[in-house]
Structures are given as C-alpha cells and as structure tokens.
Amino acid sequence: MKNMSEPLRWAAVVLAADRRAGDAVAAAAGTPCKALAPVGGVPMVKRVLQALADSASVDRITLVGPPRALLQGDPDLNAMVSTGDIGWVEPDSSPSASALRGLNAQAAEQPVLLTTADHALLSPEIVDHFLREARASGCDFLVGMARLETVQAGFPGTRRTATRLRGGPYCSCNLFAFATPESRRLAPFWRRVEQQRKKPWRVIAGAFGWVAVLRYLAGRLTLEQALARLSARLGVRVGAVVLPFAEAAVDVDTPADHALVEAALAARAAASCRP
C-alpha cells in the first residue's frame, strides 16, 4: 500500500510546438517541426520523453504540441499519444500560453515540471537532481540555471545567452518547477519574461525597478537578491536550482546548436565504446 505521507511524484509538461513558422532547425533537418528533428538519429522530442520516463521523480508526461496531424508522421509517437501512454494538449499561440494550457491539464495539487522538446541532452540525472533540489527548497516556483563557466567548461567555445548577476553569469536551462498550486499565479509574469527573454534587464526593470537595473548592469545584483525581490513583488516564493551539468543549459535553438548536440552525442557514443 502506498504511504500517504509519500510526496507526489511530478507531472512533466513538454512544450513541443514551434515558436514560429519556418523554424530554421526544422528546415535544415527536413522535418515538419523542430521537435521531430533528429539528433543522433532520434527525434529530439523522443530523447526528452525518454529522459523523463527514466526519471525516478516523474509520473505522468504531457506533450503540448506539436499539432496532432504532425504526430501522425511518427508512428511510435502517435501510438504513445493514441494509447494514452503520454498525454497531448493542443498548443496555443505562444510558449507561455501553451505552458498555461499544459499546467491547466494537470490536477491543481500536482507538482509540475515544465521543459521543452529541444532539450536534446536532457538526462534522468539532470531531471532528478533538479526536482530533488526544487522540492527541498520550500519554494513555490523554481528555475533551473547553470553558471556560464560550467557550460563553457563542458562545451568550450560555445556561446549561450547568460544573465549577468554577481556569482554568475547564469544560463537558463529550460527547466521550471511549479512545486505548489500558488506557483501557477505566475502566468502573467511568465508572458513578460517570454517577450523579453533576450533582454533580461527589461524583465528586471519591470519586476524590481530601475535601481535594481543599475545594480544588474554593474554586475552587483546577486541571484539571491533578485529572487528575493521577485518573490516579494509577486507574492510567490521564487527560487533557483543551480545545476552542475553543462548539458542542462543546451537547447537546440539554431542549426549551430543542432551541430553542437550531434557532436556531443557522437563523443558520448564513442566514449561508451572504448574498452
């Protein structure tokens, strides 16, 4: 019999619709959407689904997108949705709106992990580490981050968008933990972050005021200070999990990212074959 004091395992929501028509990665791969572009011979969304399925922390998985007609081009993926092995929700007009649809498809008390279909190097170890730390934090909502130095050590020469805070800079990892029902009140702020995701100082200005922007631009605002101010402003306990995995910060936004992931998977396969 299940111990009633045992914490709920997490539901996982995977955003798998293209941000816009004519995605460059999909065009280069010759696939109808980016989520179905192969990396190491496997559609990247399947790699994400496998990492989540192999995680000890995740229970139910829901795809938001791609459009159902596109799924029919992949018999295995279409079968998983048709049989109910994984859930599927129609995508909305933007990632933040699609995220809200995915969240609303889960029970209110269910903790939810949100990630993206282009997180092609995601592993069960990354997922379990992130969710373990998220649950232990006591926060309502958490973001996964990695220090830029961690990412550059794992992928020398790579260029990633980073937020310049003292103790960082930090790269986003496309991992978001909605640990409590209160966390779902963040949807309006999420939309603003999405609109300004390449210009973090604008997000800081809207959330914290111009004094904080000046501190940010001077590299004097710490991650902890930023999260404390954000929590006070939004009335939700916001936290971050700084991950020690370079792979956690690599998503496939461009053909160059695709080549980077292909090289990483090839190196991994070669290493596994060595005596």
Lowest mean pLDDT among 73-77, 92-96, 98-102: 92-96
Do 158 and 230 form a contact (C-beta atoms < 8 A)? no
Q: Are residues 83 and 148 in the same domain?
A: no
Q: Are residues 108 and 187 in the same domain?
A: no
Q: Are residues 15 and 115 in the same domain?
A: yes
pLDDT 10s digits, 132-178: 999 999 999 999 999 999 999 999 988 888 877 878 889 999 999 99
Short-list 108, 146, 104, CA closest to 129: 146
Do 142 and 132 form a contact (C-beta atoms < 8 A)? no
Pairing of strands 58-64, 10-15: parallel
Q: What is the CA radius of gyration of the chain?
A: 18
Q: What angle do CA 23, 34, 17 make, to 5 degrees?
A: 90
Q: Are residues 111 and 150 in the same domain?
A: no
pLDDT 10s digits, 200-240: 445 544 554 544 554 554 566 788 887 887 788 788 898 99
Query: Is it the case that residue 35 has pLDDT exceeding 60?
Result: yes
Does residue 216 sit within a domain?
Answer: yes
Short-list 188, 177, 138, 236, CA closest to 13: 177
Q: Are residues 19 and 80 in the same domain?
A: yes
For the domain that residue 188 is a member of, what is the CATH number? 3.90.550.10
Does residue 55 sit within a domain?
Answer: yes
Q: What percent of the chain has pLDDT over 70?
A: 84
What's the pLDDT score for residue 184?
A: 85
Q: What are all long-range contacts of 152-160, with beta carbons under 8 Å and residues at least 24 apart?
A: 152/246, 153/246, 154/245, 154/246, 154/247, 155/246, 155/250, 155/260, 155/264, 158/250, 158/260, 160/249, 160/250
Q: Are residues 155 and 256 in the same domain?
A: no
How far apart CA 271 and CA 201 sit, in angstroms, is: 41
Query: Is it the case that residue 98 has pLDDT exceeding 60?
Result: yes
Q: Count up the domains in the chain and report the number.
A: 2
How far apart CA 183 and CA 236 sit, in angstroms, is: 6
Does residue 256 sit within a domain?
Answer: yes
Domain carrying residue 77: 9-121+250-266
Query: Is it the case that residue 1 has pLDDT exceeding 70?
Result: no
pTM reported for the whole predicted model: 0.89
